[in-house]
Structure formats: structure tokens, C-alpha cells
Structure 1
Amino acid sequence: MSRAQPQKWVSLLILFLLHLLLTSHADVGSAAQYPPPYLPTACYGSDSSQFPSSNLFAAAGDGIWDNGASCGRQYLVRCISAARTGTCVPDKTIQIRIVDYAGSVNSAPSAPATTMVLSQTAFGAIANSTAISINIEFQQV
């Protein structure tokens, strides 16, 4: 085997690893939580069948609302950090569904101007439910 062969494989491996790093499709944002009542919603009005049986849903903030096009979209969401250490549930990712617009939810979110406002169930699945807001990584499914 010539001396160029190992260098070629190392170069290919480096290119492959760079490709993996640069093709991540996840975004970073923030999330708050909101309590019931959850109806009516900007997406589906008073139709309670809109909510997933898991109660893992959210209201979209301005950054992802997209004039209502986000209604029904599903995202993988995980807590990546918070103001207080130990707030995030380690290695926990949930799948949520957008059912409302954060600017028109019926009950006040725990923090304003976040990327998503998660149901209490969704927020508690990935973070300590006493937190006001968290930093999240999210990706559309």
C-alpha cells in the first residue's frame, strides 16, 4: 500500500465528519409554559380534538408562527440550558404539535417573547416545572 492511501482515507473521514456537523437542521430558541384553559386556539378554534393525547403541544411564538402556517407542525424539542443549573431533564427529547399562537393564548405564559410556549405537560417533561423559561433546541419533524 502506498503512503498516499492512508492520507486519502483520513481526508475522506474528515470531509464526512464536517458534512455531518454542517448539516444539522436544529434551531435554538427559548420556551415558556402556559396553563389551561387551552381553548379556543388560533389554529383550530374550540375543537378539542386538535390536542395530542399525550398533551405535548405548544403555541408558536412570532419567530415560527409564519402567519398561521405553523398550525399542526410537529417539532422535536429538548431543553439545553436555563438560568438555574439542573433545570433541564438530561437527554430528554419530546415531540410537540403547534396548536396555537403565543400572542393570543388564553392564559399568560410564564415568560414573554419566546420561540414556543409549551403546555404545562410538555414543559414539565423536559424541564423543572418551576422554571420561568428555558433555552431549547428544536427541529421540525
Structure 2
Amino acid sequence: MDLVLLFLLVPLLLPLSTADIGTASSYSPPYIPTKCFGNDGSQFPPDGTLAAAGIENWMNGEACGRRYVVRCLSSEMPATCISGATVEVTIVDQAAGLGSRQSLAGTTIALSQAAYSRIASLDAPLIHIEFAPI
């Protein structure tokens, strides 16, 4: 019986194995110029769900154009995360170059205000996230 249960649970757990855990902050406009696309805003998602990769994910610019689905897990501020919400973002910049306090503090990813507000309250300066490539 236990072996049958294991075989039933494995397919449910496999999608979780591709996700990473990290932190996210938000950053505000102007969003151009970017390290990925310079002054070309045509590469941005039309809904403004952009992101800047942290030092660990930047990989000398290889992150440019990558897409991730991001979910808020928790925050030090209560009631910050929007339950069950996810957002798809496109990497357009390097977080270290943004100049914001949160992005310079080593967050995994900095989300545009449009992206951040879909998964968490903008009042929270930092959230814990789960993110996976699309």
C-alpha cells in the first residue's frame, strides 16, 4: 500500500523540484535603459511584468529574456502575500545596477511594481519567493 501511495505522489512532487527559493524586492520606473535591451522597451511584456536578475541568476547577462513564474511564500510583514497568486516575469535587467536598497542588498530577483503587486503588497520591502523557469 505504501508503495502505491509513493507512486501516486511522485508526479505531484516533480514540478516542485524545478522551483527555487529566494527573495524578491520591487523597483519603480523608469525601467529603461536596461542592461539587456538598452532603450528598447519593445522587448518588455505589455503588462509591465518585468524583473531584474540578482547576482546569482544574472550569469554575465545570460539571464536576459528568461521568463519565470514567481509566487510569494512569506514576508516579515503579516498578510503581505496574495494567496495562490503567481506572476510571470521576463528578465530585462541586472538587479545590482538598479540602485535601489533592496536590489543592492542581494535579493534573488527585483520585480517591477506591476509584477510585485500581483503577488504581494507593495508595502512589504522584501518577500520570500518560489520561482521557476517557464
TM-score (norm 1): 0.86
The equivalent of 1:37 in structure 2 is 30
Aligned-pair distance for 1:18?
3.7
Report the RMSD for the aligned CA atoms in angstroms. 1.6
Is the Cα contact below 8 Å between 1:33 and 1:109 reproduced in 2? Answer: no
Q: Which has the larger radius of gyration?
A: 1
CA distance in 1, matches of 2:69, 2:101: 20
Structure 1 residue 103: deviation in Å? Answer: 1.1
Do the aligned partners of 1:32 and 1:109 also contact (CA within 8 Å) in 2? no
Counterpart-to-counterpart distance in 2, 1:21 and 1:136: 18
What does residue 108 of structure 2 align with? Answer: 115
1:52 to 45, 49, 57: 45
Query: What is the rounded CA distance, in whole Å, between the counterparts of 2:111 and 2:27 in structure 1?
Result: 6
Q: Which runs of 4+ in 1 moved over 3 A?
A: none
Q: 1:12 aligns with which of 4, 13, 26?
A: 4
Q: What corresponds to 1:72 in structure 2? A: 65
In 2, Cα distance between equivalents of 1:34 and 1:109: 10
Q: Normalising by structure 2, report the TM-score.
A: 0.90
* Structure 1 gap segments, 5+ residues each: 1-6
Deviation digits for residues 114-139 of structure 1, max 9, x if unmatched?
A: 00000011111110111100000000
Partner of 1:131: 124
Q: Aligned partner of 1:72: which letter?
A: G
Q: Is the 8 A contact 1:73 1:97 kept in 2?
A: yes
1:3 alignment counterpart: none
Query: In the TM superposition, what is the alpha-carbon distance from 1:67 to its structure 2 partner?
Result: 1.2
CA shift, 1:52, in A, is 0.6
Q: Gaps (5+ residues) in structure 2? A: none
Give a deviation string over 1:80-121, Cα, whole Å, max 9, x none: 00001200010001100000001112x525452100000011
CA distance in 1, matches of 2:117, 2:47: 12
Please report how far the alpha carbon of residue 14 of structure 1 lies from its aligned counterpart in structure 2 after TM superposition: 1.6
